[in-house]
Amino acid sequence: MALDDRKSQFTFVGTSPDRPDGLDKVTGRAKYGADAYAPGMLHGAILRSPHAHARIVKIDTSKAEAHKDVKAVVTRADFAKVPFKPGLEGEFWNVLENVMAGDKALYDGHAVAAVAATSALSARDALKLIDVEYEVLPHVTDVDKAMAPDAPVIREGAADYSVPEGMHPNVVRYHESGHGDVEAGFAEADLVIEDRFVTEATHQGYIEPHACLASLGNDGKGELWCTTQGHWIAQKTCAALLGIETAQLRVSASEIGGGFGGKTTVFIEPVALALSRKANRPVKIVMTRSEVFRATGPTSSASMDVKIGMKKDGTISAAQGVFRLQGGAFPGAPGDLTAMCAFAPYNLTNVKQTGYDVMSNRPKQAAYRAPGAPMAAFAVESVIDEMCNELGLDPVEVRLKNAAHEGTKASFGPRYERIGLVETLEAAKAHPHYSAPLKPGQGRGISCGFWFNHGGETSVSLALSEDGSAQLMVGTPDIGGSRASMALMAAEVLGIPYENIRVTIADTATLGYNDVSHGSRVTYASGLATIKAAHHAVEKLCERAAAKWGIPVDAVKWENGCAVPSGSNAGDFDPMPLADITADMGSTGGPISGHFEATPEGAGVSFGTHIVDAEVDPETGKTSITRYTVIQDAGKAIHPSYVEGQFQGGAAQGIGWALNEEYVYGEDGRLQNSIFLDYRVPVASDLPMIDTVIVEVPNPGHPFGVRGVGETGIVPPLAAIANAVSNAAGVRMRQLPMSPPRILAALKGNG
Amino acid sequence: MDYHSPANFAEASALASKATGITRFLAGGTDVLVQLRSELVTPDTLIDIKKIDGVRDITRNADGSWTLGVAVTGAEMSEHPDLGNDWPGLVEAMDLIGSTQVQGRATLTGNLCNGSPAADSVPAMIAAGATVTVTGPKGDREVAVEDIPTGPGKTALTKGEVVSAVNIPSRGESGGDAYLRFIPRTEMDIAVVGVGVNLRLEGDEITEARVSLGAVAPTVLLVEDCANAIIGTSLDGEALEALAAGATAACNPIDDKRGTIEFRTEVAGVLAKRAAKIAYARAKGEQA
Amino acid sequence: MSKFHVTTQVNGDEVEFLCDPRETLLDCLRDKLNLTGAKEGCGTGDCGACSVSVDGRLVCSCLMLGVEAEGKTIETVEGLADGEVLHPLQQKFIERAALQCGICTPGILVAAKALLEKNPDPTEEETRYWLAGNLCRCTGYDKIIRAVMETAAEMREAS
């Protein structure tokens, strides 16, 4: 894409004004998923399997249907017939099977039936009246056990073409990549370390449970309000699952109370639509927290083997990794992404990575901030730390020595364009944190992290008003302040004040297709589209000014919010402000708008380096994080405060993942900790202030140099904390979470 | 579910005696509502005891002992000007439960009657030698706190009986108490191990002691071996090791999502030592 | 199952509603009074998104029954501002980017206001422990803690 509008000097971009939705959110009037109401609305509730794996022999809904408050009951029979296909090809089938079980319940919490009633209490009461006869089957929830020859098969025929012959049917996708000759590289090494690492599944833990309000008639026309990271994917998927036309379902995104990747698909929405169609009334469904944990999409769990060869001077001579990711009862675990990210920060001659996507009797995994990358970094960066310790080398220097830079052939194939890894490492080295003395009992860890970032399908529309204000419609739900960033970028191009721009998250009926708010793509892709749409409007503004002045359009340029003659030859006219042009636009050619629709491809990969200090109580194994610094390349920070917020949030989630968060399954295959009491996300008193350094190495693929910042921040923490804890405790921790019982067991030598 | 808010304990007891199905008393509700919401326990009869006169009172009796109404919240205990001077360990134990928000509702009595072996205030109450007054169809009886829990979620209260007051002994001279618990985070967790220690000194020597362990057995334990390990000592290193050994030996924990048998057993000893040191310093009149 | 008639005061207004005894105060605020500022993040008192003040005491409205609200004085996030003038905490949270998704914000504001009323000069540690029952998954708490402490400092100067 031609980037003739590249900019490096900014008026609005790089400032941190108040967010446009701030007042609504501090006064409680912002409307989230569960805050909607419709006349005649019913409340839905979903019956869920108590078994990890069971054949559904019979469902008797007659007693529930007879309940006086119940208006509809649905089971799988009430959905469209969607054909089964292997792997991710059959994604609609996979989603349907996940939102309402077919022949088998595949995990504890799998939906088997649903009711709509006149009150939420009645709906819940009615669930107890549904009789389901199950034939309990053997189950498996652990990734290594799920790959073993005797493991119960979750579903025959789910594997796609990539899987080598002879593997267990639970292995459904396979990835292998790399370059060079790793065996030759290991032979050159002065030190080779190979270790096994294990991580448990974690949940995104957004505070807002899934919620929706659906309305669908037998005319095939519907309305859906839901909390989602992407309402077009919700539209497309729900339409397919209900057997209606996509365009006939209008989906509006509510304010979203956190997603982190977990709200990129649908769970309750198709069910609410099916209930609504059957009852012919609007139906609202709000998940409980327990349902969120049991039946939405946590991360994969992983088992990984990493082998690295290093020379005495710190040069990595070869690197190899095997990454097995358990993704629940459906294909989709990011074994490929994990493998591809594992060694991405380094300039390696010999590298090989293998990834497995493995099914088990758990809920279908969903994305969680840089899906797959944190686990890989945990394994790889831990081994590098061990090697630095053993060879007596500085961990930042070793990473600098091996760091990828512009032109490096990435471990996953392509050559990097301009990237900022070295800059983050130099900033780490220079940061006072890195040289600050440690107290007894404390350890320091560092880690690098990589994420691809993503562009994706994007549509933006911008319309000018007569008074010179602008309304901007974007299609990527605003999770962390992106409306502010969009307004800043539009203001930068139009040259009008930030406050004069209103940004709306448009519904599916009022804007073209938009991919999900994921892949750290919003500020990059919707931002790029906003800039392009604003330029499109500026072109028209210049045309109108040219016509008014009676000069050719190419003799007019746009400067500081005004049309001006492009040079002295063009004529002598006073600058014409935007509002002067829009004031009579109705009579000078009609409304002035700008549009942009495309799939930007230049997202620009992202790197970060984290420094963390941890203190371990040797008598109890309890860890406290005493200092934390995030350094990450943002390309260009549009709204620096919210960029810092992304860095801090990623680090905090990483701290939770590293220390205490985990899915705990019992022998019976049921989730043991489906409330926040026992799924332990960090609370305010657990954390220190989180220091941030924004590095800006402009992304050549964005007019203002933006790189997405949402995901990379969760990649380094697991390893950085593991390194800090291992250095503090004097024993290497290779399993997450590093909960006190695990650390104490390791300290006592029986871990 | 029927909801009642009786005006006195006799009426509360009568309601409970007559009720069929599952009956729960509602004090702070921080356990009852969680169980209700998760459909773990949906009572048929819910008896709210907060409208009974005096249930929010904290009273210091003439002999120096304390009587606490059953609806006194953790926040009210922490804010009381004198209670925490006498029984800092007990007040801190209560204060450890849940968040600021939970403190605004949660009560000692609720924590006790919920029957959790991991209840934070219970080891502290047992160490303090607290009793509860139980009102039943046959009148009132006074029961030692350690005799109330009989197993996870179970109590010695019989049908129609309701706890109507908490009685805490006079602090007396040269005494100190402490409660410590282990949780993986800094707040908001259920105790993985809890230890309450209450002791009295003559000079440097411990003359009386009560040590109670939580979350290491089906009920909160009062461990005499631990008390004996430190009585007659000035809490020297040997006494501390004996105390830890006693605590470890008393443990009969389970492996669960919150901790392993090995971890609980080990940490019970560690916390017993730490809590005893704090109680000892308090008995000496030192800041701890 | 008969319903209970409850009369209570919310943000200065006397209100009435009918509720099933199983319904929580949060259910009643949201579904009967249309005060959807308080959020249900967990239903178990672990996240604090439903924080309100009852008779001056900070509580989780998911851990209190609607019937228990009879005769009480309740304040929610909707009552924080004074007419069109935002509470200093509300203003500061906007200025300091102390919210990302904003779902925890109503509860945190109500809780932080209760803190500053009790302790106008909290330390960072006191602030963090007071707010430990208010989960935020987006911010890592850094900007929230800074905003609360900065507001406290400004309110002290102003008084």
> How many contacts (CB atoms, under 8 Å) link A and C?
188
CA-based torsion, A470, A474, A479, A480: positive or negative: negative
Residues facing A307 on adjacent strands: A194, A320
Q: Which residues of B touch C131 (CB under 8 A)?
A: 100
**CATH number, domain with residue A657:** 3.30.365.10
Residue B33's φ and ψ, nearest 5 degrees, are -70, -35
Clarify whether residues A551 and A660 are in a common domain: no
On whether any CB of chain A is under 8 Å from the CB of C140, the answer is yes
Cβ-defined contact of A741 to B262 (cutoff 8 Å): yes
Is A715 part of a structural domain of the chain? Answer: yes
CB contacts, 8 Å: B263 with chain A: 621, 740-741, 744-745
Residues of C in contact with B186 (CB under 8 A): 129, 132
pLDDT at position A565 over 90: yes
Contact list, A748 vs chain B (CB under 8 Å): 266
B256 touches chain A (CB under 8 A): yes
Answer yes or no: do A563 and A659 share one domain. no
Flag whether A675 is in a domain: yes
H or E element at residue C157 = helix C142-158
Picking from B26, B99, B105, the nearest residue to C132 by CB comes out as: B99
Q: Mapping DSSP to helix (H, G, I), strand (E, B) and coil, where does residue A403 land? A: strand
Looking at residue A5, what is its pLDDT? 57
Confidence at residue A750, expressed as pLDDT on a 0 to 100 scale: 53
Specify whether A623 is located in the same domain as A679.
Answer: yes
Whether residue A459 sits in one domain with residue A447:
no
Distance from A683 to chain B by nearest Cα, in Å? 7
- Give contacts of C130 with chain B, Cβ < 8 Å: 100
Taking residues A178-204, report their average pLDDT. Answer: 98
User: What residue of A is the nearest CA neighbor of B186?
Assistant: A686
Residue B258 forms contact with A (CB below 8 Å): yes
- ipTM of predicted complex: 0.98
Cα–Cα distance, B105 to B125 (Å, whole number): 19
Alpha-carbon distance of B65 to B59, in angstroms, equals 8
Note whether residue A42 is domain-resident: no
Mapping DSSP to helix (H, G, I), strand (E, B) and coil, where does residue B10 land?
Answer: helix
Percent of chain A at pLDDT > 70 equals 99
A593 shares its domain with A609: no
Residues A54-82 have pLDDT tens digits of 999 999 999 999 999 999 999 999 999 99
Interface test with A, best of C62, C137, C143 (most A CBs within 10 A): C137
Nearest 5°: phi and psi at B175?
-115, 155
Cβ contact A621–B39 (<8 Å): no
B234-285 pLDDT tens trace: 999 999 999 999 999 999 999 999 999 999 999 999 999 999 999 999 999 9
Write the pLDDT tens digit of every residue in B109-139: 999 999 999 999 999 999 999 999 999 999 9
Whether domain B175-283 has CATH 1.10.1200.10: no
Domain closes at, from A563, A580, A598: A598
Q: pLDDT at position A567, please?
A: 85
Q: Least CB-CB distance to A207: which of C81, C104, C131?
A: C104
Spatial separation of the C-alpha atoms in residues B211 and B221, rounded to whole Å: 8
Cβ <8 Å between C135 and A676: yes
Confidence of residue B288 (pLDDT cuts 50, 70, 90): low
C-alpha to C-alpha distances, A668 to A57, A671, A680, nearest whole angstrom: 20, 9, 22
Q: What is the pLDDT of residue A268?
A: 98
pLDDT at position A164 over 80: yes
| Per-domain residue ranges of chain B | 175-283
End-to-end, the C-alpha distance of chain B in Å comes to 47
Tens digit of pLDDT for each residue in A82-139? 999 999 999 999 999 999 999 999 999 999 999 999 999 999 999 999 999 999 999 9
Strands B162-168 and B66-68: antiparallel
Taking CA atoms, what residue in A is nearest to B39? A124
CB atoms under 10 Å from CB of B48, counted, come to 22
Looking at A598, A618, A648, which one is the last position of a domain?
A: A598
Same domain, A430 and A459: no
pLDDT at C159: 86
- Which residues does residue A72 pair with via DSSP β-bridges, in sequence order? A116
Alpha carbon distance A376, A718 (integer Å): 10
Q: How large is the average pLDDT for residues A691-697?
A: 98
Evaluate if residue C1 carries a pLDDT over 70. no
For A345-496, strand residue ranges (E) read 351-358, 442-451, 458-464, 470-474
Together in a domain, A389 and A508: no
Query: Is A480:A642 a contact under the CB 8 Å cutoff?
Result: yes
Nearest residue of C to residue A692 by CA position?
Answer: C142
Q: Are A699 and A743 contained in the same domain?
A: yes
Task: Decide if B79 touches C, using CB distance below 8 A.
Answer: no
Residues A585, A467: one domain?
yes
Q: Residue A4: is its pLDDT beyond 70? A: no
B73/C contact by beta carbon, under 8 A = yes
Q: What's the start-to-end Cα distance of chain A, in Å? A: 54
Q: What confidence category does residue A2 fall into, taking pLDDT thresholds of 50, 70 and 90?
A: very low
CA dihedral B269, B270, B273, B277 (to 10 degrees): -160
Q: 3-state DSSP call for residue A288?
A: coil
Residue A1 has a pLDDT of 37
- Which residues in chain A touch residue B189, judged by CB atoms under 8 angstroms apart? 677, 680
Residues above pLDDT 90, as percent of chain C: 98
pLDDT in tens, A137-162: 999 999 999 999 999 999 999 999 99
Task: Find chain A residues with C-beta within 8 A of C75's C-beta.
Answer: none
Q: Are A551 and A578 in the same domain?
A: yes
Tokens of A279: 């009852």
- Position C110 pLDDT exceeds 80: yes
Please indicate if any CB of chain C lies within 8 Å of the CB of A35.
yes
Q: Within an 8 Å CB–CB cutoff, is residue C88 touching chain A?
A: no
Domain contains A489:
yes
Q: Please report residues of B whose CB lies closer than 8 A to that of C114.
A: 100
Considering only the beta carbons, identify the residue of A28, A682, A690 that sits closest to C76: A28
In terms of phi and psi (left: phi > 0; alpha: psi -120 to 50; beta: otherwise), the region of A740 is alpha
- As a whole number of angstroms, the distance between CA B230 and CA B239 comes to 5
Whole-number Cα distances in Å, A182 to A303, A311, A317, A347, A362: 21, 14, 8, 14, 35
| pTM for the predicted model, two decimal places | 0.98
Residues in A closer than 8 angstroms to B37, CB to CB, are 288
pLDDT at A751 over 50: no
Q: Is the pLDDT of residue B40 over 60?
A: yes
Could you tell me the domains of chain C?
Answer: 4-79 (3.10.20.30), 88-158 (1.10.150.120)
**Cβ-count burial of A165 within 10 angstroms (0-12 exposed, 13-18 middle, 19+ buried)?**
exposed
Of A664, A685, A739, the CB nearest to B184: A739
Say what the pLDDT of residue B269 is.
98
Is A630 within a domain?
A: yes
Task: Return residues 153-212 of B near A (CB < 8 Å).
Answer: 182, 184-190, 192
Cα separation, B94 vs B282, whole angstroms: 18
| Three-class DSSP category at A426 | helix
Residue A58's DSSP bridge partners are A133
B22 min Cα distance to partner chain C (Å): 14
CB contact under 8 A, B104 and C1: no
pLDDT at A244: 98
pLDDT of residue A112: 98
Residues A652 and A704 in one domain: yes
- Which residue's structure tokens are 């652990």? A142
Average pLDDT taken over every residue of chain A: 97
- Interval A436-448 mean pLDDT: 97
Question: Measured over all CA atoms, what is the biggest interatomic distance in chain A, rounded to whole angstroms?
Answer: 86
pLDDT tens digits along A508-528: 999 999 999 999 999 999 999
Q: Are residues A437 and A466 in the same domain?
A: no
- DSSP E strands in C62-145: the ranges are 73-75
Residue C12 exposure: Cα atoms within 13 Å on the Cβ side: 7
Q: How many CA atoms lie within 13 A of A356 on its CB side?
A: 25
Please name the amino acid found at residue B87: W
Testing the interface with B: which of A615, A619, A674, A676 to mutate, by most B Cβ within 10 A?
Answer: A619
Token look-up 């057995």 returns B217
Is residue A48 predicted with pLDDT exceeding 60? yes
- Tell me the DSSP string of C122-148: --HHHHHHHGGGS--SSSTTHHHHHHH
Report yes or no on A579 lying in a domain.
yes
The C-alpha of A726 sits at a distance from chain B's nearest C-alpha, in angstroms, of 18
Of A566, A598, A630, the residue at which a domain comes to its end is: A598
CA nearest C23 in B: which residue?
B37
Sequential DSSP letters for A230-275: -HHHHHHHHHHHHT--GGGEEEEEPB-S--TTTTSS-SSHHHHHHH
**Partner residue opposite A207 with nearest CB, options C36, C103, C125:** C103
* Smallest CA–CA distance from C59 into chain B, residue: B101
Whole-angstrom Cα distance, residue A633 to residue A155? 43
State the Cα–Cα distance between residues A196 and A323, nearest whole angstrom. Answer: 10
Is A411 in contact with A697 (CB distance < 8 Å)? no
* Residue type, position B78, single letter: S
Yes or no, beta carbons of B188 and A677 under 8 Å apart: yes
Q: Which residues of chain B have a CB within 8 Å of the CB of C57?
A: 73, 75, 104
Could you count the other beta carbons within 10 Å of the beta carbon of residue A666?
14
**CB-based burial of residue A441 (10 Å sphere; 0-12 exposed, 13-18 middle, 19+ buried)?**
middle
Mind giving me the DSSP string for C6-54?
Answer: EEEEETTEEEEEEE-TT-BHHHIIIIIS---SS--S-SSSSS-TTEEEE
- In tens, the pLDDT along B170-185 reads 999 999 999 999 999 9
Q: Is the pLDDT of residue A6 over 90?
A: no
Mean pLDDT, residues A394-404: 98
Comparing C-alpha atoms, which of B198, B176, B277 is closest to residue B235?
B277
Chain A nearest-CA distance from B195, in A, is 14
To probe the interface with A, which of C142, C148, C149 has the most A CB atoms within 10 Å?
C142
Stretch A371-375: mean pLDDT? 98
Count of domains in chain A? 2
From the list A201, A198, A209, the residue with the least C-alpha distance to A298 is A201
Shortest CA gap C71–chain A (Å) = 24
pLDDT digits (tens, 9 = 90+) for A640-693: 999 999 999 999 999 999 999 999 999 999 999 999 999 999 999 999 999 999
Q: Which of residues 599-658 of A touch C (CB under 8 A)?
A: 639, 641-642, 644-645, 648-649, 651-653
SS3 A365: coil
Domain hosting residue A703, numbered range: 372-453+604-747
Q: What pLDDT does residue B14 have?
A: 97
Residue A632 DSSP label: E
Mean predicted confidence (pLDDT) in C149-156: 98
pLDDT band, residue A638 (cuts 50/70/90): very high
> Could you give phi then psi for residue B35, rounded to 5 degrees?
-70, -35
